[in-house]
Amino acid sequence: MSTLLSSRQCVINECSDTVNRIIGGEEAVPHELPYQVSLQWNYNDDSTKPMHFCGGALLSDRWIVTAAHCKTSYTDDGFIEAVAGAHDIADPLEDNQRRKVEDMMVHTQYCGTVCPNDIALIQVVMPFILGDHVKPIRLPQAKEVFHGDALVSGWGATTPALVPEYPDKLRKVVLPLVDYDECRQLWYEVSHLANTNVCAGPEDGSKAACSADSGGPLVTLNGTQVSTDPVLIGIVSWGPFPCASPWRPNVFTGIAYFIDWIEEHMKQGLIDDS
């Protein structure tokens, strides 16, 4: 059974509200991942603090890429905020940048549940101020293939307990990338794994992403042939239920397969703003 890695949702008859997120990882050094974004539901209520529910990766001062299934709502009066430069999302005095989402463009071929094309672009109302703590991630070349290890990050519980603990500070974990043909064999009984997906995770399931890591970045730290900078190679899409199951790697939307789509929509958004 596979499930979308979002929070507080019941998908294909399985509820992931009690499932964890980053498993087997460690706390990130504050602001070492300046491309990381927290998507939070602002209840538009001074008595209720915003709730983190998905991740994202910063592409420019106004654009974020995330998972399509992160387009959701929790209350009639609330709205989505993108938070950049965050580390401790429970600290109201932390020097981060909050922006209201102006638009969220979901891939037109996304089916609405566990399936390929799980990708969306977010445009914020006001640009982020870029600097050491808030910095876009580099995109790969179209259809570029990666090997080795990659880093996934997010805010979430650290153990697969029935009542998980959710740390407030950003966490990270290194996952081995899994060849697509091998991933296809491990997920032999599902039809929604596509060649536009990237798979990552150890055989024993000791390290994994899970609910509310959705849309968060999978990044190669080895760079590419043309750059030594970190490169965004995937965004968290779906995985096993329960999370961190042996022989069940996490599945990510492969960014290299959507470069034209990303660039086209970002360019169109800039034209619309002019």
Just list the catalytic residues: 69, 118, 214
CA 189 from centroid of its chain's CA atoms:
25
Q: Report d(CA 29, CA 229) in Å as an integer.
A: 18
Q: Please, which residues bridge with residue 70 across strands? A: none
Q: Please, which residues bridge with residue 121 across strands? A: 65, 105
Of 15, 22, 29, 53, nearest to 215 (Cα)?
A: 53
Look up residue 195 and give its amino acid.
N
**Which residues are CB-contacts of 116 (< 8 A; sequence separation ≥ 6)?**
109, 110, 192, 194, 196, 197, 253
CA 236 from centroid of its chain's CA atoms:
4
In Å, what is the CA distance from 93 to each residue of 70, 87, 132, 211? 26, 11, 19, 26
Q: Report d(CA 152, CA 23) in Å as an integer.
A: 11
